[in-house]
């Protein structure tokens, strides 16, 4: 038979006395048969007494209740400590986020914030709960409160926006992300400071503008000799015609028809010079801020070729124009498109001017939605190992003193701004670049 060894803390006093009588509570000794029989007999008599049973049950319940109370109290303390621990961890996570975090109720009151937001105003995290949005700074509060209000008014559960906020005397740019929860009655907003990023973007744009300007100056410098010839030759023609008219008038040999013919020749030549100068001014000026306008693609190509005609003739370079569409309309900045064409023509000129039988071909194509022009020269193409680098800024295959390596890079940027693309044609046996631009709705 197994020894009965009840635990002291688990036995109520009445039962403990009963067991003590039979030497079964503390000794742990194995009872003999006579002892066990006596124990069973006394226990039966004890339980048969209703008062004794009731006393035993009451004392057992009381003891059990006390024990349960102690256990519940200890458990509650553990739960509270665990909640406090999680709150500390949660606040530490919020404070580690590289931006401000705040959460609100739908009545536009703060529920809580992280240390970053509180620190901007020199406040504590505990100062925010229950306060209306904007209580700390009226200037920032108005715009930020409007954002929070729009979050709750939006049917979307998530919301994002980049906006400028004035904190104290500092102007900063933030990317704000909001998420609603608890049936859209509360929302959390995370704000990431993108001021440095915006500043970097502005610097990049400024540098890009300087690069484009530098590319223009380089292009104009390379074209200067040809442009001088383009203007000087018509001026010589004007001068010669004017001197002939003067001589004939003095000698009395000038008839009306001859005079009219010479005057028309002078006017035509002046208009040609004016056209060259107008195009030159358009290229030289800063067109980055110009609005996009409806323009004629063929006219831009023709005017761009005007700048190069004399240079091409001097080096015996034949120029062919294929499929010249007359009524193709582009939504573009004409000066920038002209710069792209001149860059491609100038690159072709530098590549083939010393070769035998040099030629350049400008071919145009038109679809329902796009206009495409290709500039092909008599060169043998660009090697495979250089094709991936030709669009990089400052990369050039020209000898020292020829070009800046910006022409293709700047041209690619201009074409992308117009929603198009500039590509090198790897399938062509010669050297060919393709420019694709979207058509205007009026084409």
Looking at the domain assignment, is residue 313 inside a domain?
yes
Looking at the domain assignment, is residue 443 inside a domain?
no
Q: Do 264 and 409 sit in the same domain of this protein?
A: yes
Looking at the domain assignment, is residue 292 inside a domain?
yes
Q: What's the N-to-C CA distance of the chain in angstroms?
A: 109
Mean pLDDT, to the nearest integer, of 284-293? 72
Q: Do 275 and 377 sit in the same domain of this protein?
A: yes
CB atoms inside a 10 Å sphere around CB 312: 20
Q: Do 123 and 72 sit in the same domain of this protein?
A: no
Buried (b) or exposed (e) across 325-344, using 16+ Cβ within 10 A? Answer: eeebebbbbbbbbbbbbbbb
Buried (b) or exposed (e) across 208-222, using 16+ Cβ within 10 A? Answer: eeebbeebbebbbeb
pLDDT of residue 6: 42
Strands, sheet with 370-377, edge to edge from the N-terminal-most edge strand: 318-322, 359-366, 370-377, 431-438, 421-424
Q: Do 174 and 211 sit in the same domain of this protein?
A: no
Residue 436 has pLDDT above 90, yes or no: yes
Q: Do 171 and 129 sit in the same domain of this protein?
A: yes
Q: Do 57 and 24 sit in the same domain of this protein?
A: yes
- Residue 320 belongs to a domain with what CATH number? 3.30.565.10
Looking at the domain assignment, is residue 102 inside a domain?
yes
Encode pLDDT of 200-236 as tens digits: 888 877 777 776 666 666 666 666 656 666 677 778 8
Residues in the chain: 443
Looking at the domain assignment, is residue 3 inside a domain?
no
Residue 102 has pLDDT above 90, yes or no: no
Q: Do 224 and 299 sit in the same domain of this protein?
A: yes
Domain ends where: 46, 63, 89?
89
Q: Do 41 and 146 sit in the same domain of this protein?
A: no
Question: Domain of 392?
Answer: 200-438
Looking at the domain assignment, is residue 2 inside a domain?
no
Looking at the domain assignment, is residue 376 inside a domain?
yes
Nearest CA among 443, 418, 427 for reference residue 435: 418
Domain ends where: 33, 65, 89?
89
Domain ends where: 165, 193, 221?
193
Secondary element (H or E) of residue 179: strand 170-181
Encode pLDDT of 168-190 as tens digits: 667 788 888 888 988 889 998 88
More confident residue, 104 or 402: 104
Q: Do 331 and 224 sit in the same domain of this protein?
A: yes
Percent of all residues in the chain with a pLDDT value above 90, rounded to a whole number: 9
Give the number of domains in the chain.
3
Q: Do 228 and 155 sit in the same domain of this protein?
A: no
Q: Do 330 and 405 sit in the same domain of this protein?
A: yes
The 3-state secondary structure of 348-394 reads HHHHHCCCCCCEEEEEEEECCCEEEEEEEECCCCCCHHHHCCCCCCC
Whole-number Å distance between alpha carbons of 244 and 236: 12
pTM of the model: 0.48
Q: Do 57 and 123 sit in the same domain of this protein?
A: no
């Amino acid at each position: 038979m197994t020894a009965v060894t009840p635990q002291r803390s688990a036995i109520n006093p009445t039962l403990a006395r009963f067991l003590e009588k039979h030497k079964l509570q503390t000794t742990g000794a194995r009872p003999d048969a006579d002892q066990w029989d006596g124990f069973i007999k006394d226990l039966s008599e004890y339980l048969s007494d209703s008062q004794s049973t009731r006393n035993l049950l009451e004392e057992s319940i009381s003891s059990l209740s006390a024990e349960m109370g102690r256990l519940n109290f200890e458990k509650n303390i553990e739960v509270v400590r665990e909640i406090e621990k999680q709150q500390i961890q949660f606040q530490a996570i919020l404070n580690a986020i590289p931006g401000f975090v705040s959460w609100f109720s739908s009545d536009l009151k703060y529920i809580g914030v992280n240390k970053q937001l509180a620190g901007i105003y020199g406040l504590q995290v505990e100062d925010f709960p229950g306060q209306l949005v904007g209580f700390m700074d009226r200037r920032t509060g108005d715009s930020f409160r409007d954002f929070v209000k729009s979050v709750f008014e939006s049917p979307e559960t998530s919301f994002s926006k980049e906006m400028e906020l004035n904190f104290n005397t500092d102007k900063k740019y933030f990317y704000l992300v909001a998420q609603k929860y608890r049936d859209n009655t509360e929302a959390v907003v995370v704000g990431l400071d993108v001021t440095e990023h915006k500043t970097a973007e502005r610097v990049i744009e400024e540098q890009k503008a300087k690069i484009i300007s530098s590319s223009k100056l380089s292009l104009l410098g390379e074209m200067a000799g040809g442009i001088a010839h383009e203007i000087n030759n018509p001026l010589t023609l004007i001068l010669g015609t004017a001197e002939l008219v003067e001589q004939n008038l003095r000698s009395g040999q000038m008839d009306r028809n001859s005079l009219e013919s010479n005057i028309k020749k002078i006017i035509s030549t002046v208009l040609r010079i004016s056209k060259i100068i107008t195009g030159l001014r358009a290229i030289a000026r800063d067109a980055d801020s110009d609005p996009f306008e409806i323009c004629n693609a063929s006219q831009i190509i023709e005017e761009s070729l005007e700048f190069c005609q004399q240079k091409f003739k001097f080096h015996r370079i034949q120029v062919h124009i294929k499929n010249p569409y007359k009524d193709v309309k582009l939504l573009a900045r004409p000066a920038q498109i002209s710069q792209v064409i001149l860059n491609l023509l100038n690159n072709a000129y530098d590549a083939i001017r010393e070769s035998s039988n040099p030629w350049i071909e400008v071919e145009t194509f038109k679809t329902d939605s796009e206009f495409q022009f290709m500039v092909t020269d008599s060169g043998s193409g660009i090697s495979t190992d250089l094709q991936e680098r030709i669009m990089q800024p400052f990369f050039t295959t020209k000898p020292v003193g020829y070009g800046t390596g910006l022409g293709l890079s700047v041209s690619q940027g201009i074409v992308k701004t117009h929603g198009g693309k500039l590509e090198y044609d790897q399938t062509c046996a010669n050297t060919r670049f393709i420019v694709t631009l979207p058509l205007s709705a009026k084409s």
